[in-house]
Amino acid sequence: MTMKKFKLTEEGEKYAKEGLPEKNLIELLTKKKSLDMGKAKDSVFNFAIAFQWAKKNKWVDIKKGKLILLRKPGKIAEQDALQNLSNGDDIDEKTLDMLCKRRLVEEIREDALKKAQKLVGKDVTNLTEDLIKTGLWKDVKLKPYNVEAVGKKVFIGKRQPYNAFLSEVRQKLVELGFREMTGPIIELEFWNFDAMYQGQGHPSRDWTQTYNLKEPKMGTLPDKNIVNNVKETHENGWKTGSTGWGYEWNPKKAAQLMPRAHGTALSARTLANMPEIPGKYFAIARCYRPDIIDATHGVEFNQTEGIVIDKDLNFRNLLGLLKQFAVEFASADKVKFHADYYPFTEPSVQLSAKHPELGWVEFAGAGIFRPEFTQPLGVMEPVLAWGLGIDRLAMFKLDIKDIRNLFTRNLGWLRKRSVL
């Protein structure tokens, strides 16, 4: 219960003695049964208040311009409470609350000075507002705390460290002028494979290499022109100057759905959707492959990759871009390039970066998209494509040996991790 003390206001004192206005109104009505409004106003002090409360309590009503009594209340709780308070007795909280709202009762505020004066000359634990306001803090002794005791454990909220790391990567790529690409997790085989000139019989499309969906199974192919260009390119090279793969392209296979197997699906969608030229794009894409799950293969993984499009880009620019990434992301002081193979780039390249602590690491795979990929989607300009080994860096930074721990289930570890 509250330790607060209350007293009657001036108005409260008056009603305690003379009765609440509504009480007086009821008493008057009990005698007269009905009253003209005008007469009532003259007979009852504070008639407006009286009427408001009596009406609210459904004791009275107005009928044909006359005030009538509906029900005579027994005891009026507020009236009793006023009496009790003036006698110094306790009253129930609900009624007290009501009386406070009606400003008939108010809290007794002990004088700050008086309260503070009680503490003068004493050993004080709590430095109070009163002491500070009155300046009497000079006349008390503040007891020392055990300041060397370690504070009680408080678990603060923090970002998930791998997520926070990816946020920084995103921020850096945006600063380098790249726009972020996003797309559906469940993808058409068309965007995941066909559009990038991966033949329908290519080993990477085998069920051991990529997931298939049981439900839903088939999606719908995009714009007919694009589909037809891709079909022709696979079959005979279309207008790209290629021989093509030389087989009959099956639109049903291309319309099958699968969980996205690589971020390049997003680049394919971007190219088909009239990209800005010159343009720079990136994606941090969640990808899925049916690998045996171990310390280097998670159930899912993120690929950080992107493209740069402009009319006169060449292989030297590609290597320049990769070197820039190696410096920005892996703090590399040296880089090495060598030939590599990706089904959808030619020429292709791999970059090894000399990380100050990890030593030489394979950091990026890249290439120039094959004309059989870009031209059927409507892009005639060279497209530089790159992918970065960001997870490897994340593992190093977070001191994680098992890639599955990027998605850690260990709250203790998360709590202990430094935010730096």
Partner 1 sequence: MPTIELSHSDLCSLMGTVVSVKDLEENVIMYAKGEVEEIDGDNLKIDIKDTNRPDLWSAEGIAREIKFRLSPGKLPKYKMKKSGRKILVSKEMKNIRPLIAAAIVKDIVITEELLLQMIHLQDKVDETFGRKRKEVAIGIYDYDKVKGDIEYRAADPNKVKFVPLEFKKELSLKEILNQHPKGKAYAHLIRKYPKYPLLADSEGDILSMPPVINSNYSGKVEETTKNLMIEVTGYSEKYVSTAISVLAAALSDRGGKPESVEIVYPDRKVTTPNMKPKSISIDIELIRKISGLDLTNNEIYDLLKKSGYGIKSKSKKTKLLYPAYRQDVMHPIDVVEDVIISYGYGNVEVKVPEIATTGKADETEVFSKRIAEVMVGLGMQEILSYTLTNKNDLFGKMNKKEEPIAEIENIVSSNWSVFRNWLLPSVLEFLLQNKHIEYPQEVFEIGDCVVLDNFQPTKTRNVRKLAGAITNSTVNYEQIASYVDALISAIGIKYKLRKTNHPSFVNGRCAEIFVENKSIGFVGEISPKVLNKWGLEKPVTAFEVDLENLKPI
Contact positions with partner 1 (CB under 8 A) in 188-207: 188, 201, 203-204, 206-207
- Output the CA angle 179-180-186, nearest 5 degrees: 150
CA dihedral defined by 140, 141, 143, 144, rounded to 10 degrees? 130
Choice from 157, 356, 357, 401 touching partner 1 (CB under 8 A): 157
* Minimum separation from the CB atom of position 344 to partner 1 (A): 11
Choice from 216, 401, 418, 420 touching partner 1 (CB under 8 A): 216
- Based on CB atoms, which residue is closest to partner 1, 12 or 343? 343
> Which of 13-21, 32-40, 139-147, 166-174 is the region at the interface with partner 1 (rule: CB under 8 A)?
166-174
H/E stretch holding 118 reads helix 112-119
Q: Which residues touch 145 (CB under 8 Å, ≥6 apart)? A: none
* Phi, psi for 368 (deg, rounded to 5): -105, 125
H/E stretch holding 61 reads strand 60-63
- Within 10 Å of residue 59's Cβ, how many Cβ atoms? 18
- DSSP secondary structure string, 265-321? HHHHHHHHT---SSEEEEEEEEEE--PPPBTTB-SEEEEEEEEEE-TT--HHHHHHH
Choice from 149, 150, 156, 420 touching partner 1 (CB under 8 A): 156
* Minimum separation from the CB atom of position 145 to partner 1 (A): 25
The token pair at 203 is 């080993």
* Residue 155 binding partner 1, by CB under 8 A: yes
Choice from 12, 21, 244, 387 touching partner 1 (CB under 8 A): 244
* Residue 323 binding partner 1, by CB under 8 A: yes
* Residue 242 binding partner 1, by CB under 8 A: yes
* Residue 240 binding partner 1, by CB under 8 A: yes
Q: Residue 203's Cα: distance from chain center in Å?
A: 41
> Which of 33-41, 124-132, 135-143, 219-227 is the region at the interface with partner 1 (rule: CB under 8 A)?
219-227
* Residue 279 binding partner 1, by CB under 8 A: yes
Specify the residue for token string 């007979």.
43
* Residue 132 binding partner 1, by CB under 8 A: no
* Residue 336 binding partner 1, by CB under 8 A: yes
Choice from 20, 116, 194, 219 touching partner 1 (CB under 8 A): 219
Q: How far apart are CA 420 and CA 183, in angstroms?
A: 31
Choice from 30, 43, 52, 163 touching partner 1 (CB under 8 A): 163
* Minimum separation from the CB atom of position 187 to partner 1 (A): 6
Site string for partner 1, 359-378 (x = CB under 8 A): ---------x-xxx------
Choice from 114, 286, 334, 397 touching partner 1 (CB under 8 A): 286
* Residue 402 binding partner 1, by CB under 8 A: no
Distance set, CA 112 to CA 127, 134, 136 (Å): 14, 8, 11
